[in-house]
Amino acid sequence: MFFFAVPLCLCGERGFELTLESSKTSVRHVPGYFQRLVSVWMRHYVVYTNEIWTNAFPTLFEPLIFIMAVGWGLAAAVGNIGGFDYLTFITPAQIMMSAVYTSAFETSYGTYFRLEVDHHYDSMVATPVGPTEVFWGELLFTGTKGVFYSAIMLGVLSFFHVLHSPLALLVPLVGFFTAIAFGSLGFFANRLVKNISQFNYFVSGVISPLILFSGTLFPIEKLPAVLQAMAYVLPLYHFVHLSRMLTTGVIAPDLPVSLVYVLIVPFILGFFAVRCMKPKLIK
């Protein structure tokens, strides 16, 4: 339940309220902000779990294939990084990538479809649910998917002898924050695109570079200083970095920085992303 606490205080909570306007039968209760947020989350949950394997398979398939190919093929050639074999090094990155893919695609293509093609959000905001709840509900569900995918990846990878600490069990939680952050980026992309094919710019121009240059496949120390600094500030590095501490059990000295980044930045991004999506719905 703590998932919901942070967005609530960021976007201003509407209290639990009663309307006193008379109605046919009795005083009618207007659902409060939290209840409305949960109802949006529930919609996504019902629709998504309805065809869960069709929905989940592609997102999980890619990182798994990748880890097999790179892990078995490339790992032998690369040798050890930071005292661990290459497969161990890229494991946390692969788990985070599953959260990145699911969230970035959900809130770019998926949101675009619900907004412009299906007009599904229109039906939601014709009820007491408002645009803030619609988009935060979406982000929170994306976060939930981040947990789900990270947990499955973690489960599968546990057979590969790449998890070296029980702290690894916390990685799905990091997946939640990763998904909120990248879900927010998807919203920003939605604000900018004029048609659905323009999301290609978002995927090749934003998501792919972030995935490649964020300490996922090689340590960022190998990058030129400028890129290193950029990677350190931009989303993904800290999510991967923190996950790596958890899967290896080796705690880096900048743990507090990563922890604060992971816990706070997704909600700052989410706050602005929801704000910038509102005019797309309420015109």
Partner 1 sequence: MPSETLIQSKNLIKKYGDFPAVNGVDFEVKTGECFGFLGPNGAGKSTLMKMIYCFSPRTSGNLTVFGMDPDKKAPEIKNRLGVAAQSDNLDEEITVAQNLEIYGRYFGLAPSPLREKIAELLKFMALETRADSKVDDLSGGMKRRLVIARALLNDPDLIILDEPTTGLDPQVRHLIWAKLRDLKKQGVTLLLTTHYMEEAQQLCDRLLVIDKGKVLVQGKPADLVKKHLKPFVMELPSSSKLPKGALMRNVRVESHEDRFFLYSASPSALEKIAEASKKDFQIRPTGLEDLFLKLTGRDLHESE
Of 31 and 219, which CB lies nearer to partner 1 in the complex structure? 31
Of 141 and 232, which CB lies nearer to partner 1 in the complex structure? 141
- Residue 13 as a binder of partner 1 (CB under 8 A): the answer is no
> Which single residue is written with the structure tokens 């799905």?
172
81 strand-pairing partners: 84
- Amino acid of residue 239: F
Count of all residues that appear for the chain in the document: 283
Site for partner 1 in 41-60 (CB under 8 A): 42-43, 46-47, 50-51
- Quote the tokens at residue 8: 């609530």
Segment contacting partner 1 by CB under 8 A, of 128-136, 188-196, 247-255, 259-267? 128-136
CA angle 202, 264, 242 (to 5 degrees): 80
Rounded-to-integer distance, Cα 201 and Cα 178, Å: 21
Rounded-to-integer distance, Cα 169 and Cα 138, Å: 25
Whole-number minimum distance, CB 54 to partner 1, in Å? 10
CA angle 261, 267, 139 (to 5 degrees): 130
Whole-number minimum distance, CB 38 to partner 1, in Å? 8
From candidates 113, 122, 158, 198, binder to partner 1 by CB under 8 A: 122
Of 32 and 209, which CB lies nearer to partner 1 in the complex structure? 32
Sketch the per residue contact string, 82 through 121, with partner 1: x for CB under 8 A, - otherwise: ------------------------------------xxx-
From candidates 1, 12, 24, 194, binder to partner 1 by CB under 8 A: 24
DSSP 197-232: GGHHHHIIIIIHHHHHTSSSSS-GGGS-HHHHHHHH
- Residue 1 as a binder of partner 1 (CB under 8 A): the answer is no
Whole-number minimum distance, CB 194 to partner 1, in Å? 17
Residue 123: closest CA among 134, 112, 132: 134
- Residue 30 as a binder of partner 1 (CB under 8 A): the answer is yes
Rounded-to-integer distance, Cα 71 and Cα 11, Å: 43
**Residues in contact with partner 1, total (CB under 8 A)?**
36
- Residue 197 as a binder of partner 1 (CB under 8 A): the answer is no
Whole-number minimum distance, CB 14 to partner 1, in Å? 7
Handedness of CA 92, 210, 85, 222 (dihedral sign): negative
Of 120 and 275, which CB lies nearer to partner 1 in the complex structure? 120
| Helix, strand, coil share (%) of the chain residues, nearest 5 | 75, 0, 20
Rounded-to-integer distance, Cα 22 and Cα 28, Å: 8
**Checking DSSP bridges between strand 29-30 and strand 17-18, what pairing results, if any?**
antiparallel
Whole-number minimum distance, CB 229 to partner 1, in Å? 41
- Residue 8 as a binder of partner 1 (CB under 8 A): the answer is no
Residues that bind partner 1 (CB under 8 A): 14, 19, 21, 23-25, 28-32, 35-36, 38-40, 42-43, 46-47, 50-51, 118-120, 122-130, 282-283
